[in-house]
């Protein structure tokens, strides 16, 4: 993360802060002043809750004697908790299936749009991107109704054609159905990021490739894909963070599939129900913290492998 070094061609070191007052603000004090409002709020809404969660996770409500310090006991419980393990394994499975699918689709669409071979490219680009503007609540409700076994159009069509009705909301299909909702929501967003990165490839590179006799496929492989590396890494990181936090979609499908999606279906759903229906605030804080830790570890693993491959 720290390697975002802005190239040293800019901002030559100034020889010390200017002591002349210019318009009521010295240059030396200006930098921290611009950064301060953001930093203050950052401390308030990021670091304070994090610290508080860490603090809470070390205590437990005892029936006798109220709040007692229990050290890492909550974490030991979390590690052994089968419900949490199932939830984490489930989101990990979701990640392994859904994210490659989504990113490959986004990549293919971005390359297709950038190839200049499409008619109606603008319409197609906007149409694929539009779902990102649809709140996940609405997206999930819509798909939930579309999946519906009694009045969903897919069920209606299967009945008309005399085929078996697909049970999108059954135990075996649910993870795939959720993956479909998330993919529908975010392919366009990832596609736009990749497409924007493709647009920054200098035209000269393409001209040079054409001079060397490279065809469209060769150009895509040797010029476009390497140019997309940082953008792909960015989308992959966001996807790690998003998948492990899976909450909205299962939470919203819960009312129509209560037998399949229980209160510990995903790790986040579990943390939520611990805090708000189980009133186990301390344990919920430990679970949240634990989940955050898993996400950070995964994110760094992604970064680490990406960088190792670069240097080798």
Partner 1 sequence: MTTTTPTSPSPSATSATTTGASRTARRPRRRSTGRRSTPLTIVMLAVLAYFLLPLFWLAISATKSTQDLFTSFGLWFSHTPQLLENIRETFTHDDGVFLHWLLNTVLYSVGSAIGAALLAAAAGYGFAKYRFRGNNAAFALILGAIMIPTTALAIPTYLLFAKVDLVNTPWAIVLPSLVSPFGLYLMRVYAADAVPDSLLEAARIDGAGELRIFFTIAMRLLAPGLVTVVLFTLVATWNNYFLPLIMLNDPKLYPVTVGLSSWASQAVGGGSGANSNMLALVVTGSLISIIPLVVAFLLLQRYWQSGLATGGVKQ
What is the footprint of partner 1 within residues 112-131 (CB under 8 A)? Answer: 112, 115-120, 123-124, 126-131
Does 91 bind partner 1 (CB under 8 A)? Our answer is no
- CA dihedral in degrees (169, 173, 174, 176; nearest 10)? -130
Q: Nearest approach, Cβ of 301 to partner 1 (angstroms)?
A: 12
The CA distance from 143 to 145, in Å, is: 5
Stretch 178-207 residues interacting with partner 1 (CB under 8 A): 184, 187-188, 192-193, 195-197, 199-200, 202-203, 206
Binder among 139, 175, 182, 260 for partner 1 (CB under 8 A):
139
Stretch 290-309 residues interacting with partner 1 (CB under 8 A): 291-292, 295-296, 299, 303, 306-307
Stretch of residues binding partner 1 (CB under 8 A), selected from 3-11, 63-71, 87-95, 163-171: 3-11
Binder among 19, 38, 80, 312 for partner 1 (CB under 8 A):
38
Does 147 bind partner 1 (CB under 8 A)? Our answer is no
Structure tokens at 200: 């920054």
Structure tokens at 167: 């049970």
Contact 140, 248 (CB under 8 A): yes
Q: Nearest approach, Cβ of 168 to partner 1 (angstroms)?
A: 13
Task: Give the DSSP per-residue string, 123-188.
Answer: HHHHHHHGGGGS-HHHHHHHHHHHH-TTT-HHHHHHHHTTPPPP-TTSTTTHHHHHHHHHHHHHHH
Smallest Cα–Cα separation from 228: which of 103, 75, 45, 70?
Answer: 103
Binder among 28, 176, 215, 278 for partner 1 (CB under 8 A):
28
The CA distance from 72 to 90, in Å, is: 25
The nearer residue to partner 1, 72 or 297, going by C-beta atoms, is 297
Stretch of residues binding partner 1 (CB under 8 A), selected from 62-70, 73-81, 167-175, 229-237: 229-237
Give CA separation, 92 vs 111, 200, 244, 252, 272, in Å.
28, 34, 7, 20, 18
Which positions from 243 to 282 touch partner 1 by CB under 8 A, shown as an x/- string? Answer: -xx-xx--xx--xx-----------x--xx--xx----x-
């Amino acid at each position: 993360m720290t390697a975002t070094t802005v190239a040293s061609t800019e901002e030559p070191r100034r020889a010390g802060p200017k002591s002349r007052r210019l318009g009521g603000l010295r240059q030396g004090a200006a930098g921290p002043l611009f950064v301060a409002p953001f930093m203050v709020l950052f401390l308030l809404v990021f670091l304070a809750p994090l610290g508080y969660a860490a603090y809470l996770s070390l205590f437990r409500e005892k029936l006798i004697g109220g709040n007692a310090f229990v050290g890492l006991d909550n974490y030991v419980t979390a590690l052994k908790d089968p419900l949490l393990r199932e939830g984490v394994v489930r989101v990990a499975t979701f990640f392994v299936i859904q994210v490659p699918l989504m990113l490959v689709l986004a990549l293919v669409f971005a390359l297709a749009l950038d190839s200049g071979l499409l008619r109606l490219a603008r319409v197609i680009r906007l149409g694929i991107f539009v779902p990102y503007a649809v709140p996940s609540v609405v997206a999930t409700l819509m798909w939930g109704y579309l999946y519906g076994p009694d009045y969903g159009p897919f069920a209606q069509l299967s009945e008309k054609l005399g085929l078996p009705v697909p049970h999108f909301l059954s135990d075996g299909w649910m993870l795939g159905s959720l993956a479909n909702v998330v993919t529908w929501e975010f392919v366009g967003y990832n596609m736009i990021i990749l497409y924007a990165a493709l647009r920054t490839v200098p035209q000269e590179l393409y001209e040079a490739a054409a001079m060397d006799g490279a065809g469209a496929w060769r150009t895509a492989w040797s010029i476009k894909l390497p140019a997309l590396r940082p953008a792909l890494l960015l989308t992959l990181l966001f996807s790690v963070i998003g998948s492990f936090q899976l909450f909205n979609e299962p939470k919203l499908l819960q009312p129509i599939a209560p037998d399949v999606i229980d209160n510990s279906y995903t790790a986040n759903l579990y943390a939520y129900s611990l805090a708000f229906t189980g009133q186990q605030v301390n344990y919920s804080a430990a679970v949240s913290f634990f989940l955050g830790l898993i996400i950070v570890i995964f994110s760094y693993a992604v970064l680490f492998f990406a960088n190792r491959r670069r240097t080798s």
